Each structure stands twice: as C-alpha cells, then as structure tokens.
Amino acid sequence: MTRGAKTVRNFGIMLAVLAAAFWQSPLYFTSDSCVMASMESLGFSPCEIICEDSYAGNHIYVLRNKNDAYAIHETQRIGPFWKTAGGATGMDFSSRDGGPLFVTQSGNDTASYIVCKRLSPEIAWVEWRWAYDQTVRADDWTQDILVMVAQQPWEETWGTVTAYNAAGDVVCVWQR
C-alpha cells in the first residue's frame, strides 16, 4: 500500500472513530437541541420551550410538557458544542399562598436566576432587587412566565422581587 493510500485510510479511520465518539457523547450543535435531548432522556418530553435567558454564553430554559409540568434546565457552551449543565423537572408553579405571583430562585457560583409565573393578568412587569442594590427589570411574559439571569453568585443576588401593574402600582412583593 502506498503512503498516500495509507494516509487516506488512516484519515478515514480517524473520522469514523471521532464520529462514533461524538455520536455517543452528550454534545450538541445547538443549545435548543441539547436541552430537548436532555428532557427526552429524563422522560420529560414531549415538551416545549416557554422562555429562556442567557449569560456568558450559557442558557437557562423554562420548559413545559404535555402534563403541564415545568422544568428549568441549563445548557453550557463548550467550544462550538453545547452540553447540559443540570436543572430540575416536574416543577409546580402554582401559588402556595394564593398570591398573584409564584417566584423561585436558584443559581451557582457564577450566575443566579429567578423564574416568575404570573398568576394574575394584572401584573405587567417585575423588578428583581438584589441585596447589593442592583435591579433587573423584566416584562417579557411568555405564557405568563419569565426568567431573569444575573451574572453574580447566588448568595449575592438574594433580595426582593416586586410585581407592578400597568399603572406602576405595587401588586405584590416576594422576599427571600
């Protein structure tokens, strides 16, 4: 076998091995395909993406399945690929105290996020005020849910979430 033929053969073998490794690895070309495959492997599909937010190239998703259960899931960029970074499934966003807003907060050492479920159409927008007097405002409700991400450690973003109506009056306040 000539040297050129061996080079082509070895290159083909290397491509086949890389393709097999990629096929078995949990890496994806898009963030959306990554989160949907993760939901399928967890038995949470079929589901739909309700809303998402991003920070430093990573994405936080809120998803809902056919049983009206919710999931919060994160994907992380690894070079040109995406991998799952964890989350929670089977979440119930119903009000525990009969209030007009359900709020849950989570995070890690690099980012925090709050998911709000609007239970009253009176709420027009919310403000997330951190313990260190920084504020994030959101009004992009998708199916009465929004997610806000802060690129700060979880402990630094504890604070209050205030919901306002269209006139700017306070509807409710959530404090952790």
Beta bridge partners of 83: 76
Beta carbons of 57 and 78 less than 8 angstroms apart: no
> pTM for this one?
0.77
Strands 47-55 and 58-65: antiparallel
- In this structure, of 31-40, 80-89, 151-160, 162-171, the range with the lowest mean pLDDT score is 151-160
What pLDDT sits at residue 164?
Answer: 95
Q: Where are the beta strands (DSSP E) in the chain?
A: 47-55, 58-65, 70-78, 81-91, 101-107, 112-118, 125-130, 135-138, 145-150, 159-164, 170-175
Q: What is the mean pLDDT of residues 143-156?
A: 84
Please state the rounded mean pLDDT for residues 94-102. 80
User: Is residue 61's pLDDT more than 90?
Assistant: yes
Average pLDDT score over residue span 63-67 = 90
